[in-house]
Chain A
Amino acid sequence: DIQMTQSPSSLSASVGDRVTITCRASQSISSYLNWYQHKPGKAPKVLIYDASSLQSGVPSRFSGSGSGTDFTLTISSLQPEDFATYYCQQSYSPPRTFGQGTKVEIK
């Protein structure tokens, strides 16, 4: 199975901050990488697919980059509604695997 490792596991940030979350795959997955946002009591929501494509309806402050084994999710200016847990997920091979999550908290 492909292991996905995110860093950091949690971070504290203020509204307006630029936030970067990293995801590393245990082997090359080309650009088969998705990012999800998950808020407590809600269904997860896809933000970025294929490493850098912004899902329709997702604010442009979210962006994704990377290929191979190293990927990044960036929030250019953190908004109050962005406090949540973020997961990366590979779609290169079965079983689909997720990172352990990065919890973004209010500073």
Chain B
Amino acid sequence: QVQLVQSGAEVKKPGASVKVSCKASGYTFTSYGISWVRQAPGQGLEWMGWISTYNGNTNYAQKLQGRVTLTTDTSTSTAYMELRSLRSDDTAVYYCARVIVTTTGDWFDPWGQGTLVTVSS
């Protein structure tokens, strides 16, 4: 079945970087883009960015521009999200999601199980 499996929880100090992985299985990795979405404690869902697994093109949320980098390794069907200069308000559960695109729209399905990133001194 189609599945996205993310790496485990991380604890980082302010100013550090974190890199979360998202390994895809059950489908052709390069046929669908990957988006990343995060949820801070008690907050809603926030879209972070998107990467084309076909050619590596990216699109980032403006508030994260310069701090976030999305990459992929097609040889292992894995997507990565790196966030730098971490702050306490980056504490959140980070999700990857496959992007389904049709002529009438796009949506996220499925999602990874989530990775908790805690930023604390």
Binding site for B on A (CB under 8 A): 31-34, 36, 38, 42-46, 49-50, 55, 87, 89, 91, 94-101
Contacts and interface: CB of A to CB of B under 8 A. Distances in A.
B75 interface: no
Given A43-B114, A44-B95, A95 B47 contact: yes
Contacts of B59: 94-95
B107 A98 contact: no
Given A31-B104, A94-B59, A101 B44 contact: yes
A43 B106 CA distance: 18
A96 B35 contact: yes
A63 to B, nearest CB: 16
A44 B45 contact: yes
Contacts of B97: 44
Interface residues of B, number: 25
Which 7 interchain pairs have the tightest Cβ spacing?
Answer: A43-B111, A49-B107, A34-B107, A96-B47, A98-B45, A46-B109, A101-B44
Contacts of B71: none
For chain A, what secondary structure do more than half of its interface residues adopt (helix, strand, loop), or is it mixed? loop
Contacts of A49: 100, 105, 107
Contacts of A98: 44-47
Nearest to B63: A95
User: B45, B100, B102 — which one has the most chain A CB atoms within 10 A of its CB?
Assistant: B45
A97 B63 CA distance: 13
Nearest to B112: A43
A94 to B, nearest CB: 6
Interface in B64-121: 95, 97, 100, 102, 104-114
Interface string B10-51: 000000000000000000000000010100000011110010
A53 to B, nearest CB: 8
A50 B112 contact: no
A38 B108 CA distance: 13
B55 interface: no
